[in-house]
Chain A
Amino acid sequence: MKKYTLWIAGGLGALLLLLVPLYFKSTFVLHIYTLTFFYIGLTAAWNIMAYGGNLSLGHASFFAIGAYVGALLYVKLGISPWIGLTGAVAASFVGGMILSMPLIRLRGPFFTLATIAFTEVLRLIAIDWRDLTHGSAGLNIPFDLGWLNLTFKSGAPFYYIALALAVGSVWLSRWVRYSALGYHLRAAASDDQAAEALGVDFNLVQITALLISATLTAVLGLFYAFYSYVLEPATLFSFELFSLQPALNAIIGGMGTVWGPVIGAVFMTPLGEFLRFYLGTIQQGLNYVVYGIILIMTVRFFPGGILSLLTPLGVRFKRWIGDTGDNQ
């Protein structure tokens, strides 16, 4: 009986999300939802590396790789973005391999520094390589309507695409967590030496996680490029938007868990828009001040993120629905 309640609640939620575009005609609302879904995806992808204890502040690089590869193939060669996806995945795979070289020797903050440097190098190359990327002037996705071109007049198609991407990313992140890889990553994060002694190939699992995370981010980047029509290094390689924000979402939601990133993204994305609207126009910069304070306070007062505050609630909820708490 209680299982039913669960399914009905879940189904209802899913239905609600599917019906949103019909209920809200406003593309602004859809845009916020779409943006939130993108960030759920990004944060979940970022979080796959966090399972292994590695915090990247360079995911903008993979995001931009995906966006540029997809857009360049489309704009310059006329290849549909759906086919371009393979190119984006391949390119981000190569990028991930390159970044994995320092990863083998570096841990903690130093790995984080390496990811920042990696992104900076790519950003500067993207700016300088004008023949390919048009430099800072950027590339435009032409307005040719059609599913094949990923160009739509209404906001609904991208709403569903982003929703699918978010669900897919979270599903993948959940799958990784409860696979052999996930167990090994978590073991490596908690004690790399003990994990190695128990047969966990530290380098292999970390690199695998990096590659999964990187390619997933690149896929999101590609769709984002087509969603935002304009590609330029200042936005795609933006530290604040695509490197720091996913990390922030995850930390605030609850890093290294499946649902923490989702909660973080759902909380932070509308909040960011809200703050910019209400505070940013009152006093420039005020919204970021609030952001900074939220970050400092989170680390200090609840380093486990929002999820750690919800856990007591969750336990009660589980008891209520009669869930015994098995992970499978």
Chain B
Amino acid sequence: MKKLAMLAAACICLMQISVTGVFAEEKTIQIGALYPISGNLALMGEESWRGAEIARILRNRQGGVAGKQIVFRQGDASTNSAARSETERMIEQDKVKAILGTYASSRCMVASEVAARKDIFYFELGAIANAITQRGYKTVWRTCPTSLDFCRGQVNFIINWLAPTLGKKANEIKVGIAHEDGEYGTSVANSFATLAKKTGLQIVSVEAYSNTSNDLSSVIFRLRKAAPDIVVAVSSSQDAILLSRQANELGLNIPIMGTGGGHSFQSFADGLGPQANGVLNVDFTQYHVNTKYTPGLEEFVKLYQETFKHFPRAGSSLANFMGANVIFNILEKTGGSFDPEKIRKVAMAMDIQPGHTATGWGVKFDKEGQNVRAECLVTQWRDGKLVTVWPKKFAVMEPILVK
């Protein structure tokens, strides 16, 4: 018993340490920025954060929001449990009234749940799981496309370009899916299957694999047996390279179409070299795109390079840049107020046609808070560059078929 007493005292002391937060200053607008910046999602989490950070820097240079400078309170959602703690901390200690993030869907699910239960705004700029905005929360908004949008982009491309190129009808096209068995891969693969059913594409094989696996030959063998016309790959990181390399090693001569993630990384092309040529990919808007439809992109890239000393590593930063700008615009219109009613009104009234943001996406929120004008573009690796090839208005090159 006496030890319990001692412990209680020690306990309280320790907690006070972790609790001493900094309180919000009145002259700034405090927003929580929650991304996984350590752990195994660190790479893309950080890349996503950079996009939002650039938006913040840019906006502050232009005078901030409603005359106030924007300050990010950063949180590290390295694990789901951490996502929860950090959300609680940002809300309680940093007194943020809105949070943006998160890149990874499972982190977002946890964090937005915490925020929603406290009526704190949660703006998702990069996670794509369909479920995020389908839980009936009034304060959860998403600016980026969903996994369904990803698959829509793919299916449209397959039906409208691939099928004619191969001289087949849409219902004759056979698709093989190889996806990492994490939450990202699984959710995209599920969406694809749903969409394929609607459009009559045949799915001949669905292969899930662990993204920490160091050998994917078995995936290749199974795909080889199924002999599809195109392989839709959902890879999170290095597995994208591994898949392409082993496809090549083991003679799988079928075009591969990635789904963001690993297929969008510059490292993908650097690692594969000429072999990367012709690999298709569907993702958020990338950098080699028709800039007429993406005003602000060049400015973003310039500032990114100034700040981080190299070219953006993936389109995620751009998507987060676009999303953060949308939020700033909303807050500008509410006059810096986080009043739920005001925000909701402003957001619902927002109506931006495609081609007027840095990603080319329009902005129009549906009742669930999802931006229905967010869309995914098809890109292709060409000489080490990820160029946009579909839809036509965004395209800077014609797609080619490389087996």
A residues adjacent to B (C-beta < 8 A): 6-7, 9-10, 12-14, 16-17, 26-29, 31-33, 35-36, 124, 127-128, 130, 135-138, 140, 143, 153, 228-230, 232, 234-235, 238, 240-241, 259, 262-263, 266-267, 270-271, 273-274, 276-277, 280-281, 284-285, 287-288, 314, 317, 321, 323
B76 near A276 with CB under 8 A, answer yes
B residues adjacent to A (C-beta < 8 A): 1-12, 14-15, 17-19, 37-38, 42, 46, 74-76, 78-82, 84-86, 88-89, 91-93, 106, 109-110, 113, 117-118, 129, 131, 135, 181-187, 190, 208, 210
Additional A-B contacts beyond A136-B184, A317-B2 (18; CB < 8 A): A10-B2, A13-B9, A16-B8, A28-B19, A29-B92, A31-B88, A32-B19, A32-B85, A36-B15, A137-B186, A138-B109, A140-B109, A228-B84, A234-B183, A235-B81, A276-B38, A284-B76, A285-B38
B8 near A280 with CB under 8 A, answer no
Distance (whole angstroms) from the CB of A214 to the closest CB of chain B:
21
Residues of A within 8 Å of B185, CB to CB, are 136
Nearest opposing residue in chain B for A318, CB measure: B2
The distance in angstroms between the C-alpha atoms of A158 and B3, with both chains bound, is 24
B18 near A136 with CB under 8 A, answer no
The distance in angstroms between the C-alpha atoms of A182 and B372, with both chains bound, is 62
Please pick, from B8, B19, B84, B182, the residue contacting A234 in the complex, using a CB distance under 8 A.
Answer: B182
Known contacts A13-B4, A276-B76: A33-B82 contact under CB 8 Å: no
Distance (whole angstroms) from the CB of A178 to the closest CB of chain B:
15
Residues of A within 8 Å of B75, CB to CB, are 281
The distance in angstroms between the C-alpha atoms of A33 and B4, with both chains bound, is 15
The distance in angstroms between the C-alpha atoms of A131 and B19, with both chains bound, is 42
Distance (whole angstroms) from the CB of A282 to the closest CB of chain B:
10
Residues of B within 8 Å of A323, CB to CB, are 2
Residues of A within 8 Å of B84, CB to CB, are 31, 228
Distance (whole angstroms) from the CB of B328 to the closest CB of chain A:
22
B2 near A232 with CB under 8 A, answer no
Q: Jot down 29 A-B pairs with beta carbons below 8 A, ordered by A.
A: A10-B2, A10-B5, A12-B5, A13-B7, A27-B118, A28-B92, A29-B19, A32-B19, A32-B85, A135-B181, A135-B183, A136-B182, A138-B109, A140-B131, A140-B135, A228-B84, A229-B113, A230-B109, A230-B110, A263-B10, A267-B14, A270-B18, A274-B17, A276-B82, A277-B86, A280-B37, A281-B37, A281-B74, A284-B37
B88 near A27 with CB under 8 A, answer yes
A280 near B181 with CB under 8 A, answer no
Please pick, from A13, A232, A262, A276, the residue contacting B106 in the complex, using a CB distance under 8 A.
Answer: A232
Most buried by B among A9, A137, A277, A280: A137
Residues of B within 8 Å of A271, CB to CB, are 14, 18
The distance in angstroms between the C-alpha atoms of A267 and B14, with both chains bound, is 7
A270 near B15 with CB under 8 A, answer yes
B14 near A230 with CB under 8 A, answer no
The distance in angstroms between the C-alpha atoms of A238 and B81, with both chains bound, is 11
Distance (whole angstroms) from the CB of B366 to the closest CB of chain A:
21
Residues of A within 8 Å of B19, CB to CB, are 26, 28-29, 32
Distance (whole angstroms) from the CB of B316 to the closest CB of chain A:
16
The distance in angstroms between the C-alpha atoms of A36 and B19, with both chains bound, is 14
Distance (whole angstroms) from the CB of A2 to the closest CB of chain B:
10
Residues of B within 8 Å of A280, CB to CB, are 37-38, 76, 78
Residues of B within 8 Å of A238, CB to CB, are 79
A277 near B106 with CB under 8 A, answer no
